[in-house]
Structure 1
């Protein structure tokens, strides 16, 4: 089912736009045709105003009808359409950040006829009312959830419309060729010149190259946006928890000389080469007869199966490279590193001999206890996570799987069009059909023609006040 992109009309929505809990300020946001009327009913400015000016802050109190007791002192701003986030009339009420004050103001707004907004409904209205396209709407969540400077920069670039502008430029170029072909097909008696198919192939090749340039940024862009799960595993007492503490720079895991101390898994977030990573410390891998520890070992193996990257920790002081067999075997993870821990117990020369004898197996020697080799470990992890690191500072970056899929669909349709144009007797109607499908993929990316269930899925991931 396809839907036209139409402005939202009708009801007025409201929600709390600040995080739940105690804070310096809380914001209740209202959008819709009833926003100004609700504000006039509830708000008592310190100085009487016959009319509130748009985009101006006013000091006063929220006072429900029939009550002499103010809910809270507030700053209120009315923003009249169309120069608002949703392109509807909007009101923001800034109150003290206690949960009770915020909740009572929201209840007062709802009592005046507004309804509680659905997750992402403010941004959905901005999209449906034409202020932003779907790619920009998705970037709102990416800005909010960015875990690194690179992720924030890419999200802000997408929100500002850089990706959309490049896609629209591609749309216009394809549409221009489609118009030429359709004119040639529809008006055979009007002396419309036959398109030059060699020139058509050249134009298609340039569009495919542009798409390839965008697609080449996806794997690295996705890492910066979504991050990776890094599982630390190994036998008991090889220093896994000490390694976690060394990587995060604090005593996050309990460290004990007794094997089997870690029974459950432990998680901590950090950045590795600018890439958000969630470190998972797991129970030592061994055949255990103790029931609780055995459960921890089973859980550790499940975490390894879910991992994007595995750090397999070994005790360098007892390691025999000649008899070493990797107990993990092949994994689905993007990368795996052997970490030779406790290098302080064997010395640098002995460690180098161990590394040489490990052959082609990627490994890094560290002393997690003393913090030695930790920078080398982080660099090795980053190199494996991004095998071909690109400079993305001045490029439009694709970070969203939906966008990648739409671009790949467009590319396939363009390849089909190129194949048609290369035939001895090209069929113009088939060529036009392929170009229309390529345009359809780009329209899906921007949300110009998008199914309702896809919109519901996208905006359901937003917080309610956004």
Structure 2
């Protein structure tokens, strides 16, 4: 990606009112900007200076702290100027306008989303995994997710990926060196313990993948959709899981007409719970609003990671429940919830059925809810391993999977009688490229554009 060195500026704090607001500028040489904003005042690098922020007519806009970071000792690797004042939106917009006006001769412009962090990446202040961790730390929805994002930002994830890359490169060097001496090929695998080295790389990659997959749960969570006939207790179950009355509950069938969403945490895992309209046959004289609600229910089912199919334990299954099950998308885990056991006399329990897990509970009495929480964690694959977790993104998991696949092919070539070392070396190269894409050593420019465009402006 070509680095645009024109200076940029933006409000770096979140929209809305706050006690403190920050306007940030970054560029190759911001000394003229500093001189224009604070004539006669010398800003010592990396020291906070209390100054008035004035407009072009010398009228005070605000008062606050000015911090000047000389390249390369800054977040972006360029000169960086931060003006920290009061966090009123109008004041910050006035201050940003003044900064842009003062930097007109420098071609100072508004920053694009994520451009400060993109420059940090392109100036080798952060690798790509660390840069993504900046956005993940900002967006973290749980304490566990924030801790994992902080670890990735500190370079923990990048370090283990770099170690995998180094091991793969070392094995490649041995293989490719041997290719230059064909007479040595027969004994190569034994003499260099190539198979043992390859197994060590595979084992290390599996450990990293396991930690990354667990961390991805902290970032993305699970989309859990509640489905069932009217009046089976879907809204009551949502309230029981959420710990508060987020959905209206009445004895009247069809109370829920549209989806109600709530994000909860179970062992630090975000669960995006969606309560939906009760499903019944369209020809039962339902009104147009309920009809639309049912259509939206099936739309949510199509996006579900887990389906909770609620049934009334006091009444037992009905033909309508069979019709609902028949319409579920294939491949999506289904948990059959037998609700209202306070009326049926069942005990709270979990039963592994032939087609789905059955959980008996009472949402109204909040009996057996912990059994459901535990089952959701099991489906998510969550394990309290005690290992450090990396807040991985889907692209990281894809790269790790593809690297694992190339290493598998490499092992197959190493096991052949003719020891196809040229193919062995090629699979190692492909695995190395996949691993290196995680930290940005081999990453297409268009992918970088997509990644940084999802950042907030000012970061």
What TM-score do you get using the length of structure 2 for normalisation?
0.89
Give the match for residue 56 of structure 1. 47
- Find the aligned partners of 1:342 and 1:269 in 2 and give their Cα distance: 24
Aligned residues: CA RMSD: 2.8
Which residue of 1 is the match for residue 75 of structure 2?
A: 85
- 1:338 maps to 336
Structure 2 CA distance for aligned equivalents of residues 20 and 398 of structure 1:
26
Render the CA deviation track for 1:242-291: whole Å, top value 9, x for unaligned.
22222212222222222112111111111123210111111111124212
CA contact (8 A) 2:54 2:60 kept: yes
Deviations 1:81-103 (A, max 9, x none): 11211111111111111110011
1:180/1:261 CA distance change after superposition, 3 Å: closer
Secondary structure of the residue that 1:93 maps to in structure 2?
Answer: strand
Unaligned runs of 5+ in 1: none
* CA positional deviation for 1:393: 3.4
Equivalent of 1:158 in 152, 162, 170: 152
Q: Which residue of 2 aligns with 1:103?
A: 93
What is the match of residue 270 of structure 2? 276
Contact persistence 1:58–1:75 (CA under 8 A) = yes
Deviation at 1:356, TM superposition (A): 7.4
Q: TM-score, normalised by structure 1?
A: 0.88
Between the aligned partners of 1:97 and 1:353, the Cα distance in structure 2 is: 52
Deviates more, 1:77-86 or 1:150-159: 150-159
The residue number in structure 1 matching 2:129 is 135
Of 404-413 and 140-149, the range deviating more from structure 2: 404-413
For the residues of structure 2 that align with 1:125 and 1:56, how far apart are their CA atoms?
A: 23
Partner of 1:303, secondary structure, is helix
Deviation sequence 1:62-111 (CA, Å, 0-9, x none):
1122x132111121111111121111111111111111001111111122
Specify the alignment match of 1:412 in structure 2.
Answer: 405
Question: Could you tell me whether the CA contact under 8 Å between 1:334 and 1:385 is conserved in 2?
Answer: no
Q: Deviations over 1:379-422 (max 9, x none)?
A: 23222332xx4334333546222122222332333333333333
CA distance in 2, matches of 1:459, 1:83: 22
Paired residues of 1:184 and 1:194 also in contact (CA < 8 A) = no
Give 3-state SS (helix, strand or coil) of 2:223's partner. Answer: strand
Q: Tell me if structure 2 keeps the 8 A contact 1:36–1:90.
A: no
Kindly tell me the number of residue pairs found equivalent between the two proteins: 449
Where structure 2 has 5 or more consecutive residues not aligned to the other structure, the ranges are none
Q: 1:37 is matched with which residue?
A: 32
From the superposition, tell whether residues 257 and 95 of structure 1 become closer, same or farther in structure 2 (CA, over 3 Å): same
Does the 8 Å CA contact 1:308/1:332 hold for their aligned counterparts? no
Equivalent in 387, 391, 397 of residue 394 of structure 1: 387
Task: State the partner residue of 1:373.
Answer: 368
Gap change, CA 1:185 and 1:85, over 3 Å in 2: same
Distance in 1, matches of 2:348 and 2:134, equals 51
**1:117 is matched with which residue: 86, 111, 122?**
111
Question: Which string of whole-angstrom CA distances, capped at 9 and with x for unpartnered residues, describes residues 289-320 of structure 1?
Answer: 21211111111122112111122222233225
Taking the aligned partners of 1:193 and 1:361, their CA distance within structure 2 comes to 53
- Residue 351 of structure 1 and its aligned partner are, at CA, apart by 1.0
Say yes or no: does 1:307 pair with 2:304: yes
User: What is the rounded CA distance, in whole Å, between the counterparts of 1:39 and 1:195 in structure 2?
Assistant: 67
* Range moving further from structure 2, 146-155 or 120-129: 146-155
How many Å separate the matches in 2 of 1:341 and 1:309? 17
